[in-house]
Amino acid sequence: MVDIHSIEGNLPEKFFVSGASVCMPCSELYYQVCAIAEVAGFLWQRGWAERNGGNISVCVTDCISSSYKDRNPLKTVALPLTHPLTTIIGEYYYVTGTNRRMRDVAVNPMGNGAIIRVCKDGKSYDIIADEVIMPTSELVSHLEMHDFEQSNGRKQIKAVCHTHPTQLVALSHNPEMLKPDVMTRLLWSMIPETRVIVPHGIGIVPYRQPGTIELAAATIEQLAGHDVVLWEKHGCLAVGEDILETFDAIDTLAKSADIYLDCCTAGFKPQGIAPDMLEGLVELFHLN
């Protein structure tokens, strides 16, 4: 969970919302949404969220007050699914809005995202707060991923973050990097922290059209063994216990990619950390 004490006291006035909002100041939901806004700002600052690039969803069911759980929806929307979601029926999510900029989410998260509830039929969702802001076009992928994680016993996974890290997308334009485990081994070998912070490596999804069922299915296949997935020539996606954890994983991988590309720019291929030394990190940090 987000450490609310690390956020409290550092919130600008613009984060405070009116009494009509589901996201009341000093509530647990408020701190969760502030963490989302913080990460949205990081993505923009890193140059990974051009215009409306990227999207975020976080399960906030435990943060919704009882008075809002029975609230009539502002709008109900059907999902273009081939089969119903079964595990996340009745769950609540904060989702960034379609065609909304991360730099705007950073300063006004409730004005650029919505709280939604998955309907009982598993094929639609209600927008319950604060405005009728349509969620990201990648919503199907996000909800499929949340459903997959929950149905496989990983109930601690609450957040999904998709963004466009320049360095990782650049590497995905090299066909050699898309071969099994090649990018994982390379990025692990650039700096020890990468092996520790991203212990399951990075899954690869060959190019699929954004926002499609095909992209969601291919991503879920990779999430069976990874917490971070690279969409070829598109971007990166991470799942985690909270939104800050997803950012940390992507940020660490991007740092490794930076090191590799900087070495190449300097005219040499980096030697990297030897495989036996990487295995030493597995034992030292008790990695799975």
Q: Which residues are catalytic?
A: 138
Q: What is the DSSP string of 58-75?
A: EE-GGGS-HHHHTPPPSE
Q: Which two tokens stand for residue 224?
A: 């069976």
What 3 state SS string does 189-234 have?
CCCHHHHHHCCCCEEEECCCCCCCHHHHHHHHHHHCCCCEEEECCC
Is residue 64 classed exposed, middle or buried when 0-12, 13-18 and 19+ CB atoms within 10 A define those classes? buried
Q: Which two tokens stand for residue 48?
A: 């990974």
CB atoms within 10 A of CB 18: 10
CB atoms within 10 A of CB 156: 11
| Residue where the block lists tokens 């900087």 | 262
